[in-house]
Amino acid sequence: MNDKPNKLITDDGLRLDGRRADEIRPMKIEIGVLSRADGSCYLEWGRNKILVGVFGPREAHPRRLQRADAAVIRYRYNMASFSVEDRARPGPSRRSIEISKVSREAFEPVIMAELYPKTAIDIFVEILQADAGTRTAAINASSIALADAGIPMKGLVTSCAFGKVDGQIVLDLNKEEDNYGEADFPVAMTQDGEITLLQMDGHLTPEEIKKGFELVKKGCKEILEIQQTVLRKKFETPVEEPEAEPEAKIVDTESEAAETEPSLEYAPEAAAVEETIEEAEELEAEPSEEVTETVPEAEELEEIVKEAEVEVVDGEAIEEAIEAETEEEAIEAETEEEAIEAETEEEAIEAETEEEAIEAETEEEAIEAETEEEAIEAETEEEAIEAEDESKGPWKVVKDPSESGSRGENDE
Q: Which CATH class is domain 27-235?
A: alpha beta
How far apart CA 84 and CA 103 sit, in angstroms, is: 21
Give exposure, 364-379, as e/b (b: 16+ Cβ within 10 Å): eeeeeeeeeeeeeeee
Q: What is the pLDDT at residue 107?
A: 97
DSSP one-letter string for 323-369 = HHHHHHHHHHHHHHHHHHHHHHHHHHHHHHHHHHHHHHHHHHHHHHH
Strand 119-129 and strand 72-79: pairing?
parallel
Sequence-distant (≥ 6) Cβ neighbours of residue 9 within 8 angstroms: 15, 21, 165, 166, 168, 170
- Residue 113 in this model has a pLDDT that exceeds 50: yes
Of all helices (H) and strands (E), which one includes residue 407? helix 406-411
At 221-260, the pLDDT tens digits run 999 999 999 999 999 876 666 665 555 555 555 555 444 4
Residues 110-138, mean pLDDT to the nearest whole number: 96
Sequence-distant (≥ 6) Cβ neighbours of residue 154 within 8 angstroms: 109, 110, 112, 190
Angle ∠(51,53,59) on CA atoms, nearest 5: 160
Is 0.75 topped by the overall pTM? no
- Residue 297 in this model has a pLDDT that exceeds 50: yes
- Residue 169 in this model has a pLDDT that exceeds 80: yes
Peptide bond into 394 cis (omega under 30): no
- Residue 344 in this model has a pLDDT that exceeds 80: no
Please give the share of the chain, as a percent, with pLDDT higher than 90: 51
> Roughly how many angstroms between the first and final C-alpha of the chain, as a whole number?
175
Residues 317-334, mean pLDDT to the nearest whole number: 77
Residues 391-402, mean pLDDT to the nearest whole number: 51
Residues 205-223, mean pLDDT to the nearest whole number: 96
How far apart CA 349 and CA 30 sit, in angstroms, is: 87
